[in-house]
Structure 1
C-alpha cells in the first residue's frame, strides 16, 4: 500500500549555501535571519576557499551578523584553505568587538599562524589598525615572531604606516630599527615608498642612513625611485653619499629619477651637482629593477 509523503518529507531547502555566504558578505542581517530559519540551511557551509559564513562576517567586520551566526551555532574553530583562523579574519575585518569575542572563546591560539606564518597581530600591524593591535598586545600576543618570509612585525607595521604602532614597537626593545628585510631597512622602505611621515619618524628615532641595500642602493637611490622631493632634499643635505654614487648595476640617483620620470627630483639632483652625462646610459642599465 502506497503512503502519501509527509509534510516533512516535502520540505526542500529554500536557499542555497551561496545565498548565506552572499548575505553575510553584504551584512544583510534580515536576510541572514531568513536563510537560517530554513530547516535545510547549513550554517557551516563553505566556499571553494573553505570560508564559512561566520568567517565572511568576521573579515567583513559585520558585528551583528557575526553575533547572530555565533548564537545559531557557527563553528569558530574551522580554518580556510590557507590555514587562516577566525581570529586572523577578525583582525583583518578591524571590528574590535569581534576580535575581543573570539579571544574570550580560547578556540584559537593568539599566536596561531596561517600558511605564510602570519599571526593575527602581524595582520593588525600590516593593516595599520591600532585598536585591534592594542587588544592583541593586552591579550599577550608575541611581538618577536617572524613570518615565513622572515618579516618581523616592525617591517609589517611599516606597510600599515601607523606611527603609533611603530612607536610602541620601538619602545619594546625587541625590534631592530636597522634590520634589513629583502635587502632594505625600514627607513629605506619609507624612502622607496615615498612615505615622508615614516621617513621622518625613523630619522628622528636614529635610523642609520648610511647603510646600503643588498643591491648597493643607498637611501638616495631609493628616495629618487620613490620620488618624494622632500625626502630627496633631506638626504642630499646630509652629505652622506656622493650624488653620483652608483649601485651594483652602475645606476646613479639621477638615472633612477630619469627612469621613473621624476622631473622635479631630477632637477634638484642636477642643481646639486649630479652628472647629467651619465643619464645617457640609463636604457641599457635599466633592465635591472630597483627594489628592496
Structure 2
C-alpha cells in the first residue's frame, strides 16, 4: 500500500523493520511493480536501493520494466534506475532474461551508469539477450559512441554474433 500511494517514508520504515520487499499480491505483483504501475519514482528508488528483485514477473508475465513501458513511464523509470546504479548500488535481478542491468544501461547509453556497472563484480560484458545482442551491439545500434568505446576498452567482445549473424562490425 505504501508503494501504491507513494509513501516513501513509510516504505523505508517497513524495509528497515525487515519486511519482505519481494512479497506479492494475489496477482503476483511486487512493490516494485506497483511503483511502476502508479509511477512512484522515489518509492522505486528506495526499493531498488534495498535490493528488490527486478527479474520477477507477475501472473500475467509482466515485469517491472514492461509495466513501466505499458504505463508510459519509461523515462521516469529509466531515470530512477540509472540514479540507483550511479549511486553504486548493484541492482538485483534473479533473471537476466527478464531484466539485465547491463543491457538496460546500454540501451540508455548513460556513461556514468555504465562505468559503475563495469566495476561490479561478476558483470558479464559479453552477455547476449534472447536475440543474441550484447551490450556493445546495443550501444552501436543506438548510436551511443562513448558507451560503445567504454565497453570496448573494458574488454567487451566486438566479434560476437547475434542470432542473425551480425556483429558490431556489420551494419545492424
Scaled to the shorter chain, the TM-score interval is: 0.5 to 0.7
Change (3 A) 1:213 1:200: same
1:208 paired with 2:117, answer no
Render the CA deviation track for 1:8-47: whole Å, top value 9, x for unaligned: xxxxxxxxxxxxxxxxxxxxxxxxxxxxxxxxxxxxxxxx
Q: Aligned equivalents of 1:128 and 1:226: distance in 2? A: 28
Q: Distance in 1 between matches of 2:134 and 2:148?
A: 12
**TM-score, reference length from structure 2:** 0.58
Q: TM-score, normalization: structure 1? A: 0.38
Structure having the higher Rg:
1
Distance 1:195 1:161 in 2: 11
Whether 1:120 and 2:27 are equivalent positions in the alignment is: no
- 2-structure distance, mates of 1:236, 1:165: 20
Change (3 A) 1:201 1:211: same
SS of aligned partner of 2:90? helix
Aligned to 2:57: 147
- Seen in structure 2, the aligned counterparts of structure 1 residues 166 and 176 have a Cα distance that, compared at 3 Å, is farther
Q: CA deviation at 1:230?
A: 0.7
Contact persistence 1:128–1:165 (CA under 8 A) = no
The Cα offsets for residues 156-203 of structure 1, whole Å up to 9 and x where unpaired, read as: 8974324337868639xxx358x4124x62112211232323222211
Structure 2 unaligned runs (5+)?
15-19, 69-75
Q: Which residue of 2 aligns with 1:199?
A: 114
Asked if 1:170 is matched to 2:90, the reply is yes
Contact 1:128–1:161 (8 Å) recurs in 2: no
1:198 and 1:212 mapped to 2: Cα distance? 19
Is 1:190 the counterpart of 2:105? The answer is yes
Q: How many residues align?
A: 146
Q: RMSD of aligned C-alpha atoms?
A: 4.2
- Asked whether the 8 Å contact 2:85–2:116 carries over to 1, the reply is no
Report the CA distance between 1:223 and its aligned residue.
Answer: 1.0
For residue 252 of structure 1, report the CA deviation from its aligned partner: 2.8
Matches of 2:135 and 2:156, distance apart in 1 = 10
Whole-Å separation in 2 of the counterparts to 1:236 and 1:88: 39
User: Do the aligned partners of residues 248 and 234 (structure 1) sit closer, same or farther apart at CA in structure 2, a change above 3 Å counting?
Assistant: same
Hey, what's the Cα distance between the residues in 2 that align with 1:165 and 1:237? 20
Instruction: Tell me the alpha carbon deviations over residues 98-147 of structure 1, each in whole angstroms, 9 at most, x when there is no partner.
Output: x67xx8xxxxx9845374x332344447957346754x79xxx9935823
1:219 maps to 135
After superposition, the C-alpha distances for 1:222-279 in whole angstroms (9 at most, x for unaligned) are: 1112221111111223454245x431112232412xxxxxxxxxxxxxxxxxxxxxxx
